Amino acid sequence: MTTHDLYTLPADHETWDVANTGYSRFSWEYDNGRDRLLRLYQKGKDKQWDQVTRIDWDIEVDPDDILGFPHETSPLFGSEIWDKMTPEQHNELGRHQVAWQFSNFLHGEQGAMICSARIVESVPDLDAKFYAATQTMDEARHAEVYSRFLKEKVGLFYPINDQLKALLDDTLSDSRWDMPYLGMQVLIEGLALAAFGVMRDLTDMPLPKQILAYVMQDEARHVAFGRLALRDFYKELSQAERDEREEFVVEGCYLMRDRINGRDVYEHLGLPVERCLELNEHSEYYTAFRNLLFTRIVPTVKDIGLWGPRVQKAYEDMGVLNYAASNVEDLMKADEDLAERLDREKRFAAEEAARAADVDATIAAGEGE
């Protein structure tokens, strides 16, 4: 069985080819680099991990209750559509919604891997090339993790969402070296990081919590990389050049905000799509989730200096301008600490199990005498 056999909707093509523009840049300066970026590079090397050994893949996952979210979180809950569905159909809807969300996490991670490789190729500074090389490996691991989770535990895949595909296309087809940073490190990674965080904090299921926490530990470094690399560069741009990038940010944020409506799920399950989308817009959970997606993007955009009137107006229109006051460093530190805590808890549980086994073995040996 191939992945294509598990797609609920056919993927358009075997591959998606995006024409590259711009230059591959070599740097002959091997001695100097920015201290904070080099420290981030060292951290990227130190924090490499293997999904085969770090994640407990033996944990069972109930396909009818993958994340453990209550039915009340569904935008359709309590509607005439929901009331006509059977309990089995409620569970199937939940399974498809998780499959759709995690499929787009997967496709986004492949996009991040390609963008990171593009940064290695095009960025002029060697310290940035060094770090982007570690990120390329991180993103490959994330794609590996999400692909395995979908294949082995969910059993469904969805094609890439049109809005995510459009933003990746714009990011990769731009010849300016900073655009993969802006499109991927700031917008796509920032939104993904927030989405992972909401799911990580709400789920009580150990396997998806592990996956989300460990991926977020890496993603926290990636967003920091984008901030460090772009902050100084954008100070040197002309107002016209900053305006172009701010326009890209605004259009990208609207695209990303509108990408989580789950239209593909409703179409595949034969539900009345327009009514479902209307219920999305009036869902308290959906609205809160959509707004929380900007907790990482808004303060980062402000930090790198793309904070003109058009950007602020767009964020005010989206209802997320208040996130500009968030402390990104604190959020990233919390992400890293949670992943480390999970590791400690797993080690403690393993040690307790080993001690219990030793006690049982000792008792059994005594009884045999």
Q: Is the pLDDT of residue 194 over 90?
A: no
φ, ψ dihedrals at 318, nearest 5° = -80, -15
Q: pLDDT by residue (tens digit) across 351-361?
A: 777 777 777 77
Rg (alpha carbons) of the chain, rounded to whole number = 22
pTM of the predicted model as reported, rounded to 2 decimal places: 0.87
Q: pLDDT by residue (tens digit) across 109-121?
A: 999 999 899 889 8
Q: pLDDT by residue (tens digit) across 1-11?
A: 788 788 887 77
Distances (CA, A) of 258 to 161, 245, 300, 330, 369: 10, 20, 20, 28, 70
Cβ atoms of residues 221 and 36 within 8 Å: no
Which residue matches tokens 């895949």?
157
Q: pLDDT by residue (tens digit) across 132-153?
A: 999 999 999 999 999 999 999 9
Q: Which of 133, 86, 285, 106 is nearest to 188 (CA)?
A: 106
Task: Write down all domains in the chain, each with its CATH number in brackets.
Answer: 3-11+34-341 (1.10.620.20)
Give dist(CA 28, CA 13) in Å, integer: 40
Structure tokens at 140: 């490959």
Assign residue 71 a region: left if phi > 0, alpha if psi is -120 to 50, beta otherwise?
alpha
Structure tokens at 28: 């002959």
3 state SS of 30: coil
End-to-end Cα spacing for the chain: 53
Distances (CA, A) of 71 to 47, 128, 232, 338, 356: 37, 45, 46, 27, 38
Q: Is the pLDDT of residue 295 over 70?
A: yes
**Under 8 Å CB-to-CB from 161, ≥6 apart: which residues?**
104, 107, 259, 264
Per-residue confidence (pLDDT) for residue 300, from 0 to 100:
92
Q: Give the H/E segment covering residue 112.
A: helix 87-122
Which residue matches tokens 């239209």?
263
Give dist(CA 265, CA 93) in Å, integer: 8
Q: pLDDT by residue (tens digit) across 298-355?
A: 999 999 999 999 999 999 999 999 999 988 888 888 888 889 999 998 888 777 777 7
Sign of CA dihedral 337, 342, 344, 345: positive
Percent over 70 (pLDDT), the chain: 97
Give dist(CA 19, CA 24) in Å, integer: 14
Give dist(CA 76, CA 276) in Å, integer: 7
Cβ atoms of residues 298 and 316 within 8 Å: no
